A and B are shown apart, each in its own frame.
Chain A
Amino acid sequence: MRIELEKRPKVSTLFSVLSPFIAFALTIVFGGIMFALLGKNPVTALYSFFVEPLSEVWSLHELAIKAAPLILIGVGLSVCFRSNNWNIGAEGQFIMGAIAGSILPVVFYDWQSPVVLPLMMLFGMIGGALFAAVPAFLKAHMNTNEILTSLMLVYVAQLFLDWLVRGPWRNPQGMNFPETRTFGADAILPEMIASGRTHWGFAFAIVAAVLVWFMMRYTLRGFEITVLGQSARAGRFAGFSSRKMIWFSMLFSGALAGLAGIAEVSGAIQQLRPVISPGYGFTAIIVAFLGRLNPLGIVAAGLVLALTYLGGEAAQLSIGVSERVTRVFQGLLLFFVLSCDTLIHYRIRLVWERFAATKTEEAH
């Protein structure tokens, strides 16, 4: 017996819709096997991982808080990935956005004004975009590989934040803890709904998703992104510049990652600490692909991946497994998402016997 991949004559619409669901189902199955191997009852474990966090109002708010940065970053990355630019450093741009946005509440903490918050958001976007400008410049003008440069800059950002909160930006009244001042009231992103902690970052994420969806679907800019992503040569024929697209897509995704960073800090943490992200910038890559690089799909995918964070925390408490389970689930999910995409272009056939032998017998 052998397994054959047969190219479909046409891209299967059915499987381009189904593939994320199949991937999610396979992740659950293999997650269950993993729990069983760890000696836990897979059903209760999966229940506490995926269902319990959805059963209470406060945990739904937590889900929205965690989904907000994932969606914001994922939407920005979708533009990048669609244009064939591989920004892997959103985590770094997230951190630099958070730092740039925190300049006002940390350095100029006396200044209380309603414009502080909008300015913080703007600074956050600029900070993220400037940090993404480094790999953009290197790719556009030095022909370096942006995957490597953007990834390496993540560590630069992480260590820079670490140095800031232990050094110049450390709270003078903070008992030597590596933290900045807590933000003033004017610098805190308010809650959206009365029932819980969900801040306006979630609204930013939804608005960004809808706007990018509109851009990709209806405008010449979206068309340019698609064309250059499919074929740089055809883009050149259309009069589009790959180099300008490197700049646009990197700055755009950097700005959204930066906005996610400052929204997270201002809305959820309300100060800077050595670590402000559980890897949102990397998880957002999975979000972008699980959402099929479609901004609306990314909203759904962001909620699913946010659930893996919550589930990891819940599973740690209720069944006593390491929170690294979260990473395992995210890894499984990415793996299955990418491999299920094969089904869109190929159909799988099991061949039990070589056809030629049977055909010859028939002929006799």
Chain B
Amino acid sequence: MPVKGQTASGPLLAVSNLTKLFGSFTACNAINLQIEPGEIHALLGENGAGKSTLVKMLFGVLAPTAGEIAWNGEIVRITSPSDARKLGIGMVFQHFSLFEALTVAENIALSMDRNVSLARVAEEASHLSRVYGLPLDPKAHVADLSVGERQRIEIVRALLQNPQLIILDEPTSVLTPQEADRLFETLFKLKSEGRSVLYISHRLEEVQRLCDRATVLRHGRVTGACDPRAETPASLARMMVGSEVAVVTPEGTNTRGDVQLEARHLSVPARTPFAVSLKNICLKVRAGEVLAIAGVAGNGQSELFDALSGEYPVADDKAIQIRRNPVGSRNINARRLMGAGFVPEERHGHAAVSTLSLSDNLVLARNQSDRRAFLGGGFLKIIRQGAVKAATKRVAEAMDVRKSGEDPPAGSLSGGNLQKFIVGRELDRQPAVLVVNQPTWGVDAGAASRIRQALVDLAKAGSAVLVISQDLDEIFEVATEIAVISEGRLSDPYPARELSREKIGLLMGGMYGKTEGAGAAHAH
């Protein structure tokens, strides 16, 4: 497919002094950025660096407060996504906007002109998907598709507009390594046609492999523009984070103790039509061990967490044991009283209530486990604000939680700081068992390394830690044992040192058997 109306020279997109204020908060501060035709340009930065705000302005979702955007040398005002599409900008968001109940073709047709027939859309879409190596069945219902396939719909949808610039927001965060490889091939093909790609990521290896140039953002400012291939991951990370990231040290001999957390043939039916059922899950975590459960999002991780935490107890008492007590049917507070702590994936509205203060959020998780310290007045159960505030302060200091004021609402903290508080809230109790779901999801590199180190230290101090994570780097940093969850089934655990990324990738794709050795898995 030819690229339309391209001028011979000069940058395709030039952004100068683009600024966006949200109230008094400067999300983007005088950003300058140039994208040449036919290049893959990386936009690097931690969470909250302003990457998403910047691309939303480029795609007409947000209006800039100041600054200008030039397209093929002409200054343009992009006031809506349809303006952006008309110019030739396509975008694939991190969170897909797809209707699960509709088919692939119907979802694509929704973003097209009204007078194009569904059959033609389907035909064009399947043609494009063949050309670009993005296999898609136009008649399939979105609900039945994997996250990788859903992403392909978004990409095809963007390609149908024949864009000169395609913006991809953290495209690989939801993909298996194999799926990511395929995506990269597609991107190279787009590049060879003379199209430009703006590739947003915080994965340094990918950026080095893929991108011609990189612009690095930190705290809403451009802190570097470079050729990523000429840099080292460490130097890129420095630009992103502003300081050297502490390296988590999992080494050191953990002495393995008794089994502290065990699941025996745990099976849980799906609670909702879109949930995953857990099938015969067996796991053991010993004192001193970090068992990491890898897997692509939506393969039963949150269901496993719900069952282990007791937020949704299971019928069979013996299916889950905490420190040798059968607890399957007990609720979350009963499990906490046995020495377990829990950190869910979602910070806002699950692990914490954004509108409540940090001290209230401390009471949230510890109102029963610490009732002697935190509650008074007999049956009135009056919350002892003094004791709670002191504990909040202790947690904030131990985890270096940066906050505005003494006891601000949880929602005012950045993701990383809130997550440090949420993890610290449990660590402060020195739990014998800690179950963590996505411990550093959407957290900046500094906070992430702090949290990972805390998990490793907790295990070293003799607790059993179970980490559910999609981030392989994280898993290799913290884990002593690794198992992989796929479609609600859990693989055997492997010692972290013996497992390669390729093997995990295969296990993630459901290619696992109860066999020993990495080679045998290929045979399936």
Contact = CB atoms under 8 A, between A and B. Distances in A.
B368 interface: yes
B375 to A, nearest CB: 6
A196 to B, nearest CB: 36
A360 B66 CA distance: 9
A8 interface: yes
Contacts of A239: 331-333, 336, 367-368
Contact residues on A (Cβ < 8 Å of other chain), bracket: 20 to 34
Nearest to B333: A239
Interface stretch (A33-41, A139-147, A186-194, A228-236): A228-236
A239 B330 CA distance: 11
A49 B258 CA distance: 77
23 contacts: A6-B23, A10-B412, A219-B377, A219-B383, A220-B363, A220-B381, A223-B360, A226-B353, A227-B364, A230-B355, A230-B356, A231-B349, A231-B350, A233-B349, A234-B350, A234-B352, A236-B311, A237-B342, A238-B367, A239-B332, A239-B336, A239-B367, A239-B368
Chain A contact surface mostly = helix
Nearest to B17: A363
Contacts of B375: 220
A9 B331 contact: no
A221 B381 contact: yes
A327 interface: no
Contacts of B64: 356
For the complex of A and B, list the 9 residue pairs with the smallest distance between their C-beta atoms, beginning with the closest.
Answer: A239-B333, A9-B23, A220-B381, A231-B349, A238-B364, A230-B353, A233-B350, A234-B353, A218-B382
B355 A359 contact: no
B383 A220 contact: yes
Contacts of A227: 353, 356, 364
Interface string B360-384: 1001110110000001010011110
Interface string A327-364: 00000000000000000000000000001100110010
Nearest to B352: A234
Given A6-B23, A7-B23, A223-B383, A237 B364 contact: yes
B503 interface: no
Contacts of A356: 63-64, 68, 77
A360 B363 contact: no
B180 to A, nearest CB: 31
B179 to A, nearest CB: 30
A237 B355 CA distance: 16
Contacts of B412: 10
A226 B356 contact: yes
A221 B67 CA distance: 51
A114 B63 CA distance: 72
B253 to A, nearest CB: 35
A239 B366 CA distance: 10
Interface in A200-242: 218-221, 223, 226-227, 230-231, 233-234, 236-239
Contacts of B333: 239
B24 interface: yes
A7 to B, nearest CB: 7
Counting chain A CB atoms within 10 Å of each CB, which of B22, B344, B365, B381 scores highest? B381
A220 B374 CA distance: 10
Contact of B25 (A9, A218, A236, A238): A9
B26 to A, nearest CB: 11
Contacts, number: 82
Contacts of A223: 360, 363, 367, 383
Given A231-B350, A234-B350, A237-B309, 6 more contacts: A7-B23, A234-B353, A236-B311, A236-B332, A239-B336, A359-B66
Contacts of A236: 311, 332
Nearest to B363: A223
Given A9-B22, A359-B66, A234 B381 contact: no
Nearest to B24: A9
B449 to A, nearest CB: 26
A6 to B, nearest CB: 7
B383 A218 contact: yes
Contacts of B77: 356
A229 to B, nearest CB: 10
Interface string A65-85: 000000000000000000000
A301 B31 CA distance: 50
Given A220-B383, A234-B349, A237-B342, A363 B68 contact: yes
B63 to A, nearest CB: 8
A227 B383 CA distance: 14
Question: Which of the listed residues A223, A227, A239 has the most CB atoms from chain B within 10 Å of its own CB?
Answer: A239
A8 B23 contact: yes
A7 B360 contact: no
Contact of A219 (B24, B356, B382): B382
From B311, B331, B342, B364, name the one whose CB has the most chain A CB atoms within 10 angstroms.
B364
A298 to B, nearest CB: 20
A7 B332 CA distance: 36
B353 A231 contact: yes
A236 B312 CA distance: 9
Contact of B68 (A8, A230, A360): A360
Contacts of B23: 6-9
A219 B381 contact: yes
Nearest to B306: A236
Contacts of A355: 65-66
Contacts of B360: 223
Interface in A110-166: none
B387 to A, nearest CB: 13
B3 interface: no
B413 to A, nearest CB: 13
B338 interface: no
Interface string B50-75: 00000000000001111110000001
B454 interface: no
Nearest to B381: A220
A243 B355 CA distance: 22
A269 B126 CA distance: 77
- Choose among A9, A10, A220 the residue with the greatest number of B CB atoms under 10 Å from its CB: A220
A300 B27 CA distance: 42
Contact of A234 (B67, B351, B368, B380): B351
Contacts of B67: 359
Contact of B365 (A8, A219, A220, A237): A237
B364 A7 contact: no
A233 B412 CA distance: 20
Contacts of A7: 22-23
